[in-house]
Amino acid sequence: MKRCLIWFRRDLRLQDNPALAAALGAGAEILPVYIHGENQVAQLSEGGASKWWLHHALSDLDSQLNELGANLHLIKTSAIDKALFALVQELNIDTVLWNRRYQPAAIELDQEIKKQLVDEGIKVKSFNASVLNEPHTISNKSGKPYQVFTPYWKCSRETEVPAPVEINLSSAQWAKAEGIALKDLGLLPEIDWDKAFYDNWEPTREGAVKRLKEFSKQSVSEYNDERDMMADDGTSKMSPYLHFGQIGVREIYHHLRNAGDEVMHGYIRQLYWRDFAHHLIYHFPHSVEKSLRPEYEQFPWSHSEEMVQRWRKGQTGYPVIDAAMRQLWQTGWMHNRARMVVGSFLVKHLLQDWQSGADWFWDTLVDADLPNNTMGWQWVAGCGADAAPYFRVFNPLLQAKKFDQEGEYVRKYLPELANIPGSAIHEPWELSEIELLAYGVKLGETYPARMIDLYEGRDRALEAYKEFKELNK
C-alpha cells in the first residue's frame, strides 16, 4: 500500500484540508506529522503567547486523530529538512503532502525540501489552505503586484473562492510511528503568566466553530459600526484560529457570503485585507525586516529602551494606552482599534521604530501572524503599502473619548483608576489632588505620571518627518 506523510504546519485541522483530502483520494496509508523547528528560521518561530496557543491546538488535533485510531507524530529539531527526510526514509514514505505557506523564509525552506525529496524519487505536492486568493494569482493590469488595498480588493473579489474541501474520514487508514510527547516540545511557559489565557480562549477546532457561530448571529451584521468600540465584543476574534489553521478562511467566507452587503463590505472585506498582507510579504520579502518603502530606512528614530519598556509594560501615564498594553499581556490579544492607537503612540509620540513594536506584538499576541503584524505596523508607521501618512498622528485622548466614551475598557484593565467616574478616567491629570485622593489615585505612585506631553510628542514627530523629507529631496 502507498504510504503518505501529511506535514501539518499552519493548517491544524482535519476539515477543509486539501493535503489530507488528496491523501484520502489516493487511498494511501496516512502518517500525520508536525515538526517543531526550534529556532531554525526566525520567521517561522513563535513568540511566547503563540506557543501557548500552538500547544493546545496540537493537543486538540491529536485528540481528534485519536478518535479515528491515529495519532499526530511530533518531532522537535533544529534541522527540519533533515528530520523530515530521515522519517521518510525510515518509514518508506512514497508521497509527502503539505499546504502552502507564504512567508519568504517558509517558501525558501519548502522549495529546498521539495527538491531534496523529489531528487530521491519521493512525490511531493502542495495546496492552498490558508488564503482566499494565493499571492501569485492576483496582479494589476501591468502584471505587477498591488501596493494599495482598494484596487486589490476590487480585483481579487472578482475571483471565485472555491468551496471548502469536503472530507470523509470514515475510510481513512493510518500509519503510526513513535514521536515525542507534546510536553517535550516545551511550548508552555515555565511560570504561569498565561493564567488569564484560559479564561479568554478556547484554542480548539470546536472553539473556532463555536466562535464563528456566535459572531455570525450576534455581531457580524453590525461589524462596521461596532468593531471600533473597545469595550464591546464587536470583533470576530477569529484571528488566532485562522493563524493556526484550526478553521479555514474559505469556511468562514462561505459561511458568511450570503449574509448581505453589510457583511461583504464589512467583515469579509477584512478577510481580503488579510489576503493583502500575504500578497505584500510574498512579493516584497524585504518588508519582513525593513520598510516596504526603502526611503524610510533613513527615518530619524529616537531609540530609547526606557520609553519602549514603559510602553510595553503599560506605564505611559495615558490610560487608554496602558489599558491596551495590559489587555495584551493578560489575554494575548488586543482590540483592533487599540492596536492602531498604541502603535501610533509608539512610533509618533515616542518616536520609536516600528520594529520594536512589531517584536513585542510577535511575542505577546496569540494571533501573531507575520504578514498581518508586518503590514499593520508599517501602516501605522507610514512606511508600508496603503500606509497612513506619517504626519497623521492619532490623538489617544480623542480616540479614547470616541471609542471608550465612559471608560469601561480602561476601567477593566486599570483597576487602580476604576473609581474615577465616566470619561474623566481618560485624563486623570486634569483632576484636582482632592478629587484624585477621593478616587484612591496618586499620580506618580499608584498610577504613573505622563511620560510625554501629547502636543510635545506630536510636534517632535512632525519635526522628525520634516527632517526626513529634507533627507529625501
Where residue 444 sits, what CATH number does that domain have? 1.10.579.10
444 and 306 assigned to the same domain: yes
Radius of gyration of the chain (CA): 24
Instruction: Give yes or no: residues 157 and 279 share one domain.
Output: yes
User: Does residue 183 lie within any of the structural domains?
Assistant: no
**Is the pLDDT confidence value at 389 over 80?**
no
Query: In sequence order, what are the beta bridge partners of 127?
Result: 99
User: Among 47, 89, 65, 50, which residue's Cα sits nearest to residue 8?
Assistant: 65
Task: Tell me, yes or no, whether 138 and 233 share the same domain.
Answer: yes
Whether the per-residue pLDDT at 321 is higher than 80: the answer is yes
The dihedral region occupied by 332, where left means phi > 0, alpha psi between -120 and 50, and beta the remainder, is: left
Query: Are 273 and 371 members of one domain?
Result: no
Average pLDDT over residues 31-44: 80
Report d(CA 465, CA 298) in Å as an integer: 11
249 domain-assigned? yes
Residues 141 and 67 in one domain: no
Contact call for residues 342 and 311 (beta carbons, < 8 A): yes
**How much is the pLDDT for 392?**
78
- For the chain, give the number of residues: 473
Number of structural domains, the chain?
Answer: 3
Q: Does one domain contain both 228 and 139?
A: yes
Whole-angstrom distance, CA of residue 3 vs CA of residue 457: 62
Last residue of a domain, one of 283, 315, 345: 283
Write the pLDDT tens digit of every residue in 80-112: 999 999 999 999 999 999 999 999 999 999 999
Residues near 367 by beta carbon (within 8 Å), at least 6 away in sequence: 50, 239, 240, 242, 243, 332, 333
Taking the CA atoms of residue 237, residue 105, residue 355 and residue 138 in that order, the dihedral angle to the nearest 10 degrees is -60
Q: Is the pLDDT of residue 388 over 70?
A: no
Considering the domain architecture, whether residues 249 and 268 belong to the same structural domain is answered as yes
Residue-wise burial string across 209-241, b where 16 or more C-beta atoms lie within 10 A, e elsewhere: bebbeebbeebbbebbebbbbbbbebbbbbbbb
Would 402 be classed as within a structural domain?
A: yes
- Identify whether the C-beta of residue 159 lies closer than 8 Å to the C-beta of residue 137: yes
- For the segment 9-17, the average pLDDT, to the nearest whole number, is 97
| Tens digits of residue pLDDT in 330-358 | 999 999 899 999 999 999 999 999 999 99
User: Can you tell me the distance from the alpha carbon of 193 to that of 315, in angstroms, rounded to the nearest whole number?
Assistant: 18
Together in a domain, 344 and 257: no
Residue 418 — pLDDT band, cuts 50, 70, 90? very high
Whether 104 and 29 share a structural domain? yes
User: Residue 3, SS3?
Assistant: strand
Query: Domain range holding 401?
Result: 294-471
Quick one: DSSP state of residue 385? T
Residue 189 within a domain: no
Rounded Cα–Cα distance for residues 356 and 447 (Å): 24
Q: Bigger pLDDT: 59 or 178?
A: 59
Q: What is the mean pLDDT of residues 388-400?
A: 84
- Indicate which CATH number applies to the domain containing 77: 3.40.50.620
> How many C-beta atoms surround the C-beta of residue 403 within 10 A?
19
Q: Given pLDDT bands bounded at 50, 70 and 90, which one contains residue 265? A: confident
Q: Is residue 461 in a domain?
A: yes
Domain stop point among 283, 311, 326: 283
Is 40's pLDDT higher than 70? no
Question: Which residue, among 54, 105, 52, 46, has the nearest Cα to 363 in the 3D structure?
Answer: 46
Residue ending a domain, among 253, 283, 313, is 283
Cell of 96: 509527502
Tell me, yes or no, whether 92 and 148 share the same domain: no
Give the span between the Cα atoms of 174 and 29, in whole angstroms.
Answer: 5
Sequence-distant (6+) residues with CB within 8 A of 378 are 287, 291, 292, 354, 384, 385, 387
315 and 437 in a common domain: yes
Place of cell 458568511: 256
- The CA distance from 109 to 49, in Å, is 24
Q: What is the mean pLDDT of residues 63-77?
A: 96
Look at residue 289 and tell me if it is in a domain. Answer: no
Instruction: Look at residue 192 and tell me if it is in a domain.
Output: no
Q: Is residue 252 part of a domain?
A: yes
The CATH number of residue 249's host domain is: 1.25.40.80
Do both 124 and 135 map to the same domain?
no
Collapsing DSSP to helix, strand or coil, 308 comes out as helix
Q: Which residues pair with 402 in a beta bridge?
A: none
Across the chain, mean pLDDT equals 93
